[in-house]
């Protein structure tokens, strides 16, 4: 019986570990409870973010990521300004309400200015109606501010693993991959007034149940507005592939991811939680399942087809051979299949953020 845990005001690490280990009826009860919390606090609707993966050029060398700098097998691309604006316009015209612009991680004046220019143009054609989330890595507070002023509303910067020792096992040991600086960047985003999103990978080598519980407690402690998290998926051409024998089977990583989403929904009732693409990689209905247990954000890929195959953070990434139009019909059906509605035309700000802004 997990009822007494579910109804607690504040979960402890041990409570969360127990929930992560539930099976059978208890597991179902966890999912049902999370679904009820979702309906009560953010309703059974799903916000769309058109995802534009505009460049796979990356200056970082994270041990798990397929587009890491040292992977010479990747064909690098950088979409033209026109391609990016067309994709953004597609989202606007189709009433998605918002987009996510994601890329590898670069820090340069040229990169900064380019994003600024794009943001200004998007604001211009959409009369400021299209919400923009950036996911372009760690930057200085000044750069975050410049982009915010140019029209970015939200920023996603995953901590990847909130346990510093685990983080260090997943990244090179240099200033470019410093845990402390990543944490600082997440704090700077808050200072720059963004709706701030973070997240972790689930089922990493060396990761324990306690680590996962601490990830959720950490998100709560920094009062995050949005979360995107999903299963870790090994990639052949990365150093972490060497320890793939340490991994849980993919189905278990998937199940843990569902539970993480459900528990987070119970802990942080009014935040936005994304159904990550990685979920769909393991299970064809992965994102729908995530929505059924608490997620309320869906990110249809609207990257132009001809580069999609090159943005492979992990292998078997789904939908790399479809066009945005194919995706639209498919998205509606997927979301309806779990009794949720697509919130067309809604900007989908995190209620949590709106409430915090009102209170301060």
Interacting residue ranges for ligand SAH, rule: CB under 6 A: 64-65, 102, 104-105, 135, 137, 157-158, 160, 201, 232-233, 235, 278, 313-314
Rounded-to-10 torsion of CA 268, 274, 280, 285: 70
User: Residue 224: exposed, middle, or buried by beta-carbon count in 10 A (0-12, 13-18, 19+)?
Assistant: buried
What spatial distance separates the first Cα and last Cα of the chain, rounded to whole Å? 39
* HSE (side-chain half, CA atoms, 13 Å) at 74: 28
User: What are the distances in angstroms from CA 122 to CA 78, 80, 84, 137, 229?
Assistant: 18, 14, 10, 20, 27
Give 39's contacts (C-beta < 8 A, 6+ positions apart): none
Q: 104 or 294, CB closer to ligand SAH?
A: 104
Q: 137 or 205, CB closer to ligand SAH?
A: 137
Q: 52 or 233, CB closer to ligand SAH?
A: 233
Q: 5 or 212, CB closer to ligand SAH?
A: 212
User: Residue 222: exposed, middle, or buried by beta-carbon count in 10 A (0-12, 13-18, 19+)?
Assistant: middle
Nearest distance in Å: CB 231, ligand SAH: 7
Q: 40 or 181, CB closer to ligand SAH?
A: 181
Q: 49 or 158, CB closer to ligand SAH?
A: 158
Q: 92 or 232, CB closer to ligand SAH?
A: 232
Ramachandran area for residue 127 (φ above 0: left; ψ -120 to 50: alpha; else beta) = left
What DSSP character marks residue 229?
A: E
Nearest distance in Å: CB 313, ligand SAH: 4
Nearest distance in Å: CB 232, ligand SAH: 5
CB 267 within 8 A of CB 257: no
Nearest distance in Å: CB 291, ligand SAH: 19
What DSSP character marks residue 248?
A: P
Q: 3 or 72, CB closer to ligand SAH?
A: 72
CB 276 within 8 A of CB 24: no
Nearest distance in Å: CB 33, ligand SAH: 27
The C-alpha atoms of residue 54 and residue 57 are separated, in whole angstroms, by 9
């Amino acid at each position: 019986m997990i009822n007494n845990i579910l109804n607690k005001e504040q979960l402890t690490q041990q409570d969360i570990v127990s929930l992560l280990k539930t099976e059978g009826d208890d597991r179902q009860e966890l999912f049902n409870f999370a679904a009820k919390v979702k309906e009560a606090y953010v309703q059974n609707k799903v916000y769309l973010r058109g995802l534009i993966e505009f460049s796979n050029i990356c200056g970082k060398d994270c041990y798990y990521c397929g587009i890491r700098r040292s992977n010479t097998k990747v064909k690098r691309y950088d979409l033209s300004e026109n391609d990016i604006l067309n994709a953004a316009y597609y989202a606007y015209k189709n009433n998605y309400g918002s987009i996510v612009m994601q890329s590898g991680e670069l820090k340069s004046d040229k990169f900064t200015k380019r994003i600024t220019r794009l943001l200004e143009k998007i604001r211009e054609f959409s009369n400021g109606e299209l919400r923009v989330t950036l996911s372009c890595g760690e930057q200085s507070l000044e750069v975050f501010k410049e982009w915010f002023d140019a029209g970015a509303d939200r920023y996603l910067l995953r901590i990847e693993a909130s346990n510093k020792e685990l983080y260090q096992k997943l990244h090179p040991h240099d200033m470019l991959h410093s845990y402390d600086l990543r944490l600082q960047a997440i704090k700077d985003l808050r200072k720059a007034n963004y709706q701030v999103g973070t997240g972790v990978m689930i089922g990493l080598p060396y990761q324990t149940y306690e680590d996962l519980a601490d990830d959720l407690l950490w998100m709560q402690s920094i009062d995050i507005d949005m979360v995107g998290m999903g299963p870790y998926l090994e990639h052949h051409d990365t150093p972490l592939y060497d320890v793939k024998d340490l991994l849980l089977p993919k189905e278990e990583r998937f199940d843990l991811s569902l539970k993480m989403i459900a528990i987070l929904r119970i802990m942080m009732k009014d935040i936005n939680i994304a159904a990550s693409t990685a979920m769909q990689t393991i299970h064809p209905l992965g994102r729908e399942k995530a929505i059924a247990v608490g997620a309320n954000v869906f990110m249809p890929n609207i990257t132009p087809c001809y580069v999609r195959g090159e943005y492979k953070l992990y292998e078997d990434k789904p939908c790399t051979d479809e066009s945005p139009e194919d995706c639209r019909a498919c998205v509606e059906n997927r979301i309806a299949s779990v009794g949720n509605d697509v919130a067309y035309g809604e900007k989908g700000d995190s209620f949590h953020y709106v409430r915090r802004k009102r209170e301060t």
